[in-house]
Chain A
Amino acid sequence: MFITLYKQQLRWRITILFSALILVLSGTTLLITHRANIANAETNITANLSITAEVFRQLIESRIQSLKDIARPATSDHAFRQVYSEGHIPTLISAMKNLTARIKNVDSTIMVLVDFDNNIIASTTSLNQHAGQSWQHLLLNAENNDSLEADGVVIINKQPYEIIVTPLLIPDPEAWVLMGFPLDQEFTSTASRITQSNITIFSQQQSDVDVEIHASTFDKTQFDDLISSLNDYQKHINKIWQVSLNRSQYLTSILPLDKLRPLHSHDKQSSNPIRTSQADNNQASIFAAIQGSLTKELAPYQRLNLILAGVFLLGGIVTLLATGLISRSITKPLVGLSRGVAEIGTGNYEVKVTQDRQDEIGDLSKSINKMAGNLKEKEKIRQLLGRSVSTEVAEELLNNDIQVAGEEREVTVLFADLRGFTTLSERLSPSELLAFLNDYFDCLSNVIDQFNGVVDKYIGDEVMAIFGAPVHRDNHAELAVKAALGMQQALIEFRVNNKDIWTFDFETGIGINTDQVVVGNMGSKSRNNYTVIGDGVNLASRLESESKNHPYPIIASQNTVDAAPNFNWQALGSAKIRGKNELVKIYGLDFNKS
């Protein structure tokens, strides 16, 4: 149905094609916009993640600095030294708690004092017996630094802590002071509030399959998805990768927390003692996952896409309607024109296709009307031609299939003359004479047509006919002879049929000659007609005159007899023909005996 409509109706074809074009263009635009928006959002988030990582570092650095600002003066505080030297542990712990309370906004700061063999002297928090192993590498690192300080992330009591190590100076180093803050929910929330990104602190023991999440700004219900996505973190360190959490897409960046700060440049012991010592201690690797929501970033773009889609849909509908209307304005007059042309095709040249338009369709309708007029004119000419030549010849002439330029050709020329015309014209009134001549010529012309001859002209009571031109016939001589016989026969019937009207008797003499003549259109540019000229024509006319001297109504030349020998020709000897120096052999044909 649809395909049929498409194939048969231009209107539908135009509408469908234009709508499809608009659809493809709109779709392509939407797709390009969508992709550009996603690329843009990814670029923004990537840039934001980079900034977030830096802010995250700065936040940790800032808190580390706060710890150092408290720890450093404490390590050279006279009272603190004295308490340490006295060795009164409850007082020492109390002094340490007093110091940790000085850290603003961080309630969970811990402080531990260990000797150079990493034995815990005092701690503000309860620690298990293996706690010292977790920061052993930091002590080694501090020992190898000129500043005798170090910091890093370690897991204490299953909680990651950012720890600083500084020596207790009396005035030489006597012990290690450790201060640290937990990378806990409070920290990730603070970092997230500043950076506007989701932050998760996780670690993985070498022996474990799953990562362990210590703190995250994601809801705990999302932890399973978060863990399974972060399990792949090793493939994506130093890369941005996309993970799906609870139907939202997040771009994720992994920040190794134990690589946050480069080692001091003057450390000569190892290029990376932290990593080495961690490996020795089978220390868990600790990371921060910084995640920016692609879905959130794309939200404004999604709204834009929806608006664009709406605009395109509206545009599509408008295009559909407009195309429909435009195509209808084209096809509707075309239907009218088509009907008009079909009518003209049936031969009704009177039909007018009227389109009051100034455009191409208006021009087309004018052209069709003009064409109908021309066809009407041509038909009129054809009908007029048909009166002097056979319909067949007339058709061929109108179709321009016939060369009418001048050429020499062999044809057979026939002259038929009404004998006793002078007497007849005296007996009949002019109107009667004209009526008789019309009937008489009509009779002869029908026979000439019948044998494919062309009435060249009527000259008074005489008719001149040509056979073999303009349409070539091989047997033009035979056709002419048959036409002559047919004329005589027709005239007998004419006399019988009209004996009540035309009571007088009359005879018709016929001269036939076959010869090379010049055929073609002759006359002025504005007025010309197709005819033949040459001696052969004159001879035919003379032969017709010669028939008066013989008992045969049909006289032919030697050429005609040679060309059409299968008739009962009677040689009449040679005759002196006017205009000819030599005698001409002539032959008579009695139609009653042929």
Chain B
Amino acid sequence: MYIHAIKMSESKSNQSMRLKSQLCFLVAILVSAHSIAGDLKISINTQKNQPIESVVVTLERLGGIQQSTSPAPLNIEIKQIDREFVPAVTVIPVGSLVSFPNQDDILHHVYSFSKAKTFDLPLYKGIPNEPIEFDIAGVATLGCNIHDWMSAYVVIVDTPYYQKTNQLGEAQLTNVSAGEYELVLWHPRQKKSYRETITIGDQSTTKKIELRLKPSFRSKRQNSNSNRRYQ
């Protein structure tokens, strides 16, 4: 069911992102000279207190307050190494360009049928001619048409405050303009979408969150002892 949940969150966040980015633009013009900023330290664990890596943490501005800054688009790479996408989870601002270099000595066929971004890179080797622009906020699930087990997720955000948890399950959002935000967490295996209203002041805020995950499903990989990439 989590796929459905993801889709739901995608569509909601797409709408709200657009609205919020417009509002933020107006607010930024009005109050740009007087910003107060704080940090958010977040630690995410399972119910068994195991750290969860690769959780995308975003803060979306609430209450009609102008977004301090628009997220700057990036140019990044999602590589194919040893028949896996590296990294498996990528978070990028809207409008970022992603290239998919194939570092294996075999061909890959990268695709996405997600609503956030549908594209198809038929069999290729090396670096494709053009990077793919992810211009709509949401989640794009990537696959390889040759290798069923290969999957990757590109989370496209419309906020400057985003981060991905490290191996310790920790992420830190720095220099966040004070105000009211919606804390949104996303992980490929999360059971249901996580949204929480949070207020950022001039102090550092620390938060510890317990996220419920469901068992991983992944197509069986050739010559592999493990099917699991995520916790």
Contact = CB atoms under 8 A, between A and B. Distances in A.
Contacts of B3: 116, 172-174
A171 B130 CA distance: 23
Interface stretch (B29-37, B95-103, B138-146): B138-146
B148 interface: yes
B143 A170 contact: yes
A449 interface: no
B4 A170 contact: no
Given A115-B4, A171-B144, A81 B113 contact: yes
Contacts of A81: 111, 113
Contacts of A78: 109, 111, 145
B152 to A, nearest CB: 9
A76 interface: yes
Contact of B219 (A116, A169, A174): A169
A173 B109 CA distance: 19
B1 A116 contact: yes
Contacts of B150: 171
A364 interface: no
B113 A82 contact: yes
Interface string B36-74: 000000000000000000000000000000000000000
B141 A116 contact: no
B90 interface: no
A172 B113 contact: no
B113 A146 contact: no
A170 B144 CA distance: 9
B144 A148 contact: no
A167 B219 CA distance: 11
B217 interface: yes
Interface residues of A, number: 19
A169 to B, nearest CB: 6
B90 to A, nearest CB: 16
B143 A173 contact: no
A34 B143 CA distance: 71
A117 interface: yes
Interface in A38-92: 76, 78, 81-82, 84-85
**Which of B3, B109, B149 has most chain A Cβ within 10 Å?**
B3
Interface string A163-181: 0000101111110000000
A76 B150 CA distance: 12
SS class, residues of chain B in contact with chain A:
mixed
B170 to A, nearest CB: 26
Contacts of A167: 217
B56 to A, nearest CB: 16
B143 A171 contact: yes
B188 interface: yes
A517 to B, nearest CB: 138
A515 interface: no
Given A85-B118, A171-B148, A146 B217 contact: yes
B141 to A, nearest CB: 5
A85 B113 contact: yes
Interface in B135-163: 141-145, 148-151
Contacts of B109: 78
A143 B217 CA distance: 10
A148 B217 contact: yes
Contacts of A172: 3, 141, 143, 151, 188, 217
B116 to A, nearest CB: 12
Contacts of A84: 113
Interface string A160-203: 00000001011111100000000000000000000000000000
A85 B148 CA distance: 17
A260 B3 CA distance: 31
Interface string A417-440: 000000000000000000000000
Interface string B190-216: 000000000000000000000000010
Contacts of B1: 116, 143
Nearest to A76: B148
A171 B3 CA distance: 11
Contacts of A170: 113, 141, 143
Given A117-B4, A172-B188, A76 B113 contact: no
Contact of A116 (B4, B143, B144, B149): B4
Nearest to A81: B113
Contacts of B148: 76, 169, 171
A401 B142 CA distance: 137
Contacts of B151: 171-172
Given A115-B4, A116-B3, A117-B4, A171 B217 contact: no
B215 A146 contact: yes
A143 B145 CA distance: 24
Nearest to A86: B113
A327 B4 CA distance: 101
B25 to A, nearest CB: 33
Contacts of A173: 3, 217
Interface in A120-177: 143, 146, 148, 167, 169-174
Contacts of A148: 217
A148 B215 CA distance: 10
Contacts of B111: 78, 81
Contacts of B143: 169-172
A84 B219 CA distance: 19
A309 B144 CA distance: 79
Contacts of B188: 172
Nearest to B1: A116
Contacts of B141: 170-172
Contacts of B145: 78
Nearest to A146: B215
Contacts of A143: 1
Contacts of B219: 76, 169, 171
A435 to B, nearest CB: 150
A146 B188 CA distance: 16
A154 B219 CA distance: 27
A116 B142 CA distance: 20
A143 B150 CA distance: 21
A304 B217 CA distance: 64
Interface string B1-15: 101100000000000
Given A171-B148, A172-B217, 9 more contacts: A78-B109, A81-B113, A116-B1, A116-B3, A117-B4, A171-B144, A171-B149, A171-B219, A173-B217
Give the 8 A-B CB pairs with smallest separation, nearest first: A171-B143, A85-B113, A171-B151, A78-B145, A116-B4, A76-B148, A170-B113, A116-B1
8 contacts: A78-B145, A115-B4, A146-B215, A167-B217, A169-B148, A170-B143, A171-B149, A173-B217
Interface of B: 1, 3-4, 109, 111, 113, 118, 141-145, 148-151, 188, 215, 217, 219
